[in-house]
């Protein structure tokens, strides 16, 4: 029987980190006020990073710090100082997009683990081999991979494989999007400030907006694949989202089962965009993957949040 994969939860605030622990996460990923891809989240001060890592470690859980944007040469000294502070605070790994930053971190802090962010667009074994040579111990796979490609990658990769199982999807490939920046603003996704233009209406409809990913109904298949980690997206989401989504995935993992229809319905009420999609995993691509956040969806989430 395969070992259970790590359940990795998001935290955009100290409150969400506490919710992830209560929800049963094995590890939590979160970012500081600098150098992370969710610049609009509340995020963590230096003291809060230390407190969060201590809280996680006291419960046998791991703290992964996001340094997952691109950096210019002038920015790198400040980012390295921040990385050193996070390492001293107890970070177990850094999630990195910028290959240059990864090389510098390994030069200065060779003992720290590096996880290649999904923005590095790791699709295949050859990418995993190259990332391994660069000092990475884990690759967060591109979200576009289907089950068969994931199986081959996991079986042949020299490093750990982490895959997304729940949360928002970008219409751009693996989140490598320049659309927000190209619209003429300074809000670049690769600098942590995406304006989410893919959620807007163009012409007759919302042609670029995708439903959220949900693979809770495929947990037995995923367990057979044996990835190292299952990732929930949502650093912009409130603590109650993190708590309740984690609880359902924790239950499915511990009982080695697919989510029930009732649990999927609960996940929809917590947050959805006209339901969910598993289109990339099942390789059923098409217009059915599109969805927006409707007033009905918002009302359902509000009712769920206010349940006693």
- Answer for the pair 39, 77: CB distance below 8 angstroms, yes or no: no
More confident residue, 147 or 172: 147
The fraction of the chain above a pLDDT of 90, given in percent, is 77
* Residue 37 confidence (pLDDT): 60
* Residue 71 confidence (pLDDT): 87
Q: Lowest-confidence range among 109-123, 189-203, 238-252? A: 189-203
Sign of CA dihedral 213, 176, 41, 47: positive
* Residue 308 confidence (pLDDT): 47
Instruction: Provide the CATH number for the domain formed by 6-305 in this structure.
Output: 3.20.20.380
- Exposure pattern of 195-220 as b/e (b: 16+ CB <10 Å)? bbbbeeeeeeebebbbbbbbbbbbbe
Indicate the domain borders of the chain.
6-305
Measure the CA–CA gap between 76 and 96, rounded to whole angstroms.
13
pLDDT at 240 over 70: yes
| Mean pLDDT in residue range 74-96 | 94
User: pTM for the whole thing?
Assistant: 0.94
Q: Lowest-confidence range among 130-144, 165-179, 232-246, 266-280? A: 165-179
Sign of CA dihedral 133, 134, 137, 142: negative
């Amino acid at each position: 029987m395969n070992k259970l994969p790590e359940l990795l939860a998001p935290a955009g605030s100290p409150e969400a980190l506490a919710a992830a622990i209560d929800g049963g996460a094995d590890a939590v990923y979160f970012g500081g006020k600098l150098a992370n891809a969710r610049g609009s989240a509340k995020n963590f001060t230096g003291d809060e990073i230390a407190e969060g890592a201590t809280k996680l470690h006291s419960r046998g859980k791991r703290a992964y710090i996001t340094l997952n944007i691109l950096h210019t040469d002038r920015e790198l000294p400040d980012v390295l100082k921040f990385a050193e502070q996070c390492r001293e605070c107890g970070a177990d790994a850094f999630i990195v997009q910028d290959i240059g930053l990864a090389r510098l971190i390994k030069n200065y802090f060779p003992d720290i683990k590096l996880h290649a962010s999904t923005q590095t667009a790791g699709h295949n074994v050859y990418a995993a081999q190259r990332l391994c040579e660069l000092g990475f111990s884990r690759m967060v796979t591109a979200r576009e991979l289907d089950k068969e490609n994931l199986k081959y990658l996991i079986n042949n990769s020299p490093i750990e494989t982490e895959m997304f199982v729940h949360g928002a999807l970008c219409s751009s490939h693996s989140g490598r999007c320049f659309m927000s920046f190209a619209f003429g603003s300074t809000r670049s996704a690769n600098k942590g400030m995406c304006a989410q233009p893919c959620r807007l209406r163009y012409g007759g409809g919302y042609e670029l907006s995708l439903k959220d990913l949900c693979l809770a109904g495929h947990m037995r298949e995923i367990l057979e694949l044996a990835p190292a980690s299952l990732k929930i997206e949502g650093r912009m989401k409130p603590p109650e989202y993190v708590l309740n989504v984690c609880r359902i995935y924790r239950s499915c993992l511990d009982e080695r089962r697919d989510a029930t229809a009732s649990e999927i319905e609960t996940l929809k009420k917590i947050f959805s965009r006209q339901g969910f999609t598993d289109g990339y995993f099942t390789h059923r691509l098409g217009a059915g993957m599109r969805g927006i956040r409707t007033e009905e969806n918002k009302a359902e989430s509000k009712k769920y949040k206010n349940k006693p």
